[in-house]
Amino acid sequence: MPRLSGMDIAATMDAYHGRVAMNAGQAIRSWPEESREAAQLVLDEHGEPDEVTETQLTWHNAWPWKRIVATRTWYEHNFPVPHIDAVESVIDYRVPVDKFSALAAFDGSVVVERTAGEVSARCHDLQANKLALNLMHDIVRGARDVDDARRYYAQEFADFRRKRPTPYMEGLRFSTMGGNAADPDERVLSDEDLEQAAAEGKKREQADARP
């Protein structure tokens, strides 16, 4: 098999990225206006996605995010004002179990994946996701309670339209945990427990099989 020169590799990569760009454009062309507009904002900021399907675009390691997913499907969200959620930003972050309820009360579009060690925010744009996740971090570390976080979210959401400073939208104000945030939980059944359960199951099968 002939070896490709540096120029050949570059041309191949250019062709690949061109194909991805075309596919991304084709994918969102048929999307509803709301989700198409949201996806285009991510394309404008981060360029072409790493994965393209008819229903979603995915960017991996698009700093500061572990993953960004823009979807054809969008969700109505009325906090703090009616808008649509179609862009999800994911980070590595371990949330203490006793904070789960508080985060759910704060914003239903902030989702905690305990086993994977991920937290995501879904909104119309990446700036709003930064706002939500910065407030998530404040709640986790005890700097704000739920009511204070919701008040601040509404304030900065409005300040963005007032053209006032929006520090929580500018970037994440904390360090994410890389790949060290997963929580595999604790084992509660030993090998002996499983062997005993299997033996009991076998006895039950044999008993059920008797005429």
Q: Give buried/exposed letters for 151-165 (b at 16+ CB in 10 A, else e).
A: ebbeebbeebeeeee
- Between 165 and 12, whose confidence is greater? 165
Give tens-digit pLDDT for 12-47: 444 444 444 458 888 999 999 999 999 999 999 999
The reported pLDDT for the residue numbered 209 is: 83
Range from 2-16, 79-93, 178-192 carrying the lowest mean pLDDT: 2-16
Q: Give buried/exposed letters for 40-55 (b at 16+ CB in 10 A, else e).
A: ebbbeebebbeebeee
| 3 state SS of 121 | strand
Distance of CA 37 to the CA centre of its chain: 19
Helix H or strand E encompassing 41: helix 33-46
Residue 9 has pLDDT above 70, yes or no: no
Helix H or strand E encompassing 113: strand 110-113
Q: Is 23 exposed, middle or buried (0-12, 13-18, 19+ CB in 10 A)?
A: middle
- Between 78 and 21, whose confidence is greater? 78
For residue 164 the two structure tokens come to: 């006032």
Give tens-digit pLDDT for 198-209: 999 999 998 888
The reported pLDDT for the residue numbered 208 is: 85
| 3 state SS of 4 | coil
The reported pLDDT for the residue numbered 75 is: 97
Residue with tokens 């937290």: 119
pLDDT-derived band at 3 (thresholds 50, 70, 90) equals: low
The reported pTM is 0.84
- Give the span between the Cα atoms of 61 and 36, in whole angstroms: 22
Nearest CA-CA partner of 180 in 116, 110, 103: 116
User: For the chain, how big is the Rg over CA atoms in Å?
Assistant: 23
Average pLDDT over every residue of 162-188: 93
Give tens-digit pLDDT for 120-142: 999 999 999 999 999 999 999 99
The residues, any chain, with a CB within 8 Å of residue 208's CB and separated by 6 or more, are none
Reported in sequence order, the residue ranges of 16-78 that DSSP labels E, i.e. its strands, are: 51-52, 56-60, 67-77
The reported pLDDT for the residue numbered 23 is: 82
For residue 135 the two structure tokens come to: 């407030």
Residue 165 has pLDDT above 80, yes or no: yes
| Average pLDDT of the residues of the chain | 90
The reported pLDDT for the residue numbered 177 is: 74
Average pLDDT over every residue of 105-120: 97
- Give the span between the Cα atoms of 56 and 70, in whole angstroms: 6
Q: What strands, in cross-sheet order, belong to the sheet with 56-60? A: 51-52, 56-60, 67-77, 83-92, 118-123, 110-113
48: left (phi over 0), alpha (psi -120 to 50) or beta: beta
